[in-house]
Amino acid sequence: MVRIQERKERRRKRLKRRILIFFTVIAIAVISGTAYTYFEYQAGQQAAEEEMADAQNEEQSEQYKEEFQGDNTEDSITNVLLIGKDSSGGKSENTDTIMIGQYDPEEESAKLVSVMRDMYVEIPGHSNNKINAAFALGGPELLRQTIKENFDVDIDYYAMVNFDGFEGIVNTIAPDGLTIDVEKDMQYESGDGLVDIDLQEGVQDLTGEEVLEYARFRADNENDFGRVRRQQQVMSVLKDQMMSFTGVSKLPRAVGTLEPYVDTNMDTGKMISTMTSYLRNTPGEIETLRIPVEGSYSNERYSHAGLALEVDFAENTRELNDFLGQVDDQVETVKNEDDEEIHDDEAS
């Protein structure tokens, strides 16, 4: 009887040791994974900061984050306001590029909306003007409000990059050059000599500076419309290059490498989780839309704004919300009112 009890006690101790070893291994794995993520992130960030030619204005960056009132719901769909800045200066700057990026992990879809910067819109608290003036007047938050006011689209986060940062991102994820099919010869030199574009037609590997020149070129009959189309092309190629640049194991270093170039209110944890989900459920392609849509605008000139696009807001609001899969409150209200009128007629 004593021997049986001793055997049971030995078995109990062996089981206890195995359980202890198991949880110890799990703890070590978690600590090691966390440490790996942290050090990889820090290594990537430090390397990028050493290469940066122009750091973000930290005080202004914090102000933008505090002011931004994005939706930030627990919905799996994420809408991000993408802003390309003319310079790295202060609030007086306009935006060269305005886009809305959407990622839906459940549908495994990625969408990109290019917002024409010359659209004449209502800017909350200010006189009507081109939409890119909203950023100069009130940063990302006023630009978000302007998009909501005119097109009834909710935005969760913003991500802002200046031209130096864009070049750095391209050179980081494509050190041998980004492969772009340049559609035609492109030559342009600005009067001040700061911009000198000289690209030849054909498929070629472009540096970050050259990719930026390609995306910004508008010295042809397409003007801003051609530039918007090329920006969407570049974003699609960048997405493909990003997928080959990193995997889940390299993700912390990749985020750390790119973060110094991007001013955003999205925290590091959210960026890593979103990018991890994206890598595991990578959409086949990025769906694109341009606002205003074809046939919904005209050219008008205003004394305070110059040449601008006068748009059909009802049509573009409907098209934009349909594309992003959002319910347009204005359209829904009109629909409900129409339904009520029909029911009233039937009742009478």
Instruction: Establish if 30 belongs to a structural domain.
Output: no
Q: By the 8 A CB rule, do 321 and 152 touch? A: yes
- Sign for the CA dihedral angle at 81, 87, 88, 93 comes to negative
Q: Which domain holds residue 61?
A: 52-174+221-339
pLDDT, tens digit, 9 for 90 and up, residues 173-222: 888 999 999 999 999 988 777 788 999 999 999 999 999 999 989 889 99
Confidence class for position 335, pLDDT limits 50, 70, 90: very low
Instruction: Establish if 82 belongs to a structural domain.
Output: yes
pLDDT at 51: 52
What mean pLDDT comes out for the span 47-53?
A: 51
Confidence class for position 15, pLDDT limits 50, 70, 90: low
Query: What span, in angstroms and rounded, lies between the C-alpha atoms of 151 and 326?
Result: 11
Asked if pLDDT for residue 86 goes beyond 90, the answer is no
pLDDT at 244: 75
CA dihedral 290, 291, 297, 301 (to 10 degrees): -110
**What does the angle CA 49 – CA 86 – CA 228 come to, to the nearest 5 degrees?**
110
Q: What's the structural domain count of the chain?
A: 1
Average pLDDT over all residues of the chain: 80
Instruction: Establish if 93 belongs to a structural domain.
Output: yes
Instruction: Establish if 45 belongs to a structural domain.
Output: no
pLDDT at 36: 43
Query: What span, in angstroms and rounded, lies between the C-alpha atoms of 275 and 83?
Result: 19
Asked if pLDDT for residue 66 goes beyond 90, the answer is yes
What mean pLDDT comes out for the span 9-24?
A: 65
Please tell me the least confidently modeled range out of 18-22, 150-154, 317-321: 18-22
Instruction: Please provide the distance, in angstroms rounded to a whole number, between the alpha carbons at the two ends of the chain.
Output: 94
Instruction: Establish if 37 belongs to a structural domain.
Output: no
Confidence class for position 315, pLDDT limits 50, 70, 90: very high
Instruction: Establish if 216 belongs to a structural domain.
Output: no
Report the predicted TM-score, pTM, of the whole model to 2 decimal places: 0.76
Q: By the 8 A CB rule, do 287 and 60 touch? A: no
Query: What span, in angstroms and rounded, lies between the C-alpha atoms of 257 and 42?
Result: 8
Residue where the block lists tokens 């600005």: 190
Query: What span, in angstroms and rounded, lies between the C-alpha atoms of 287 and 235?
Result: 11
Instruction: Establish if 43 belongs to a structural domain.
Output: no
* R_g (Cα) of the chain, nearest Å: 26
pLDDT, tens digit, 9 for 90 and up, residues 222-232: 989 999 999 99
Asked if pLDDT for residue 246 goes beyond 50, the answer is yes
What mean pLDDT comes out for the span 96-106?
A: 92
Instruction: Establish if 263 belongs to a structural domain.
Output: yes
Helices (H), the chain: 2-51, 58-67, 133-151, 163-173, 208-216, 223-245, 251-258, 268-280, 313-324, 329-347
pLDDT at 255: 67
Helix H or strand E segment including 55:
none
Look up the CATH number of the domain holding residue 228.
3.40.630.190
Q: Tell me which DSSP letter residue 222 carries.
A: T
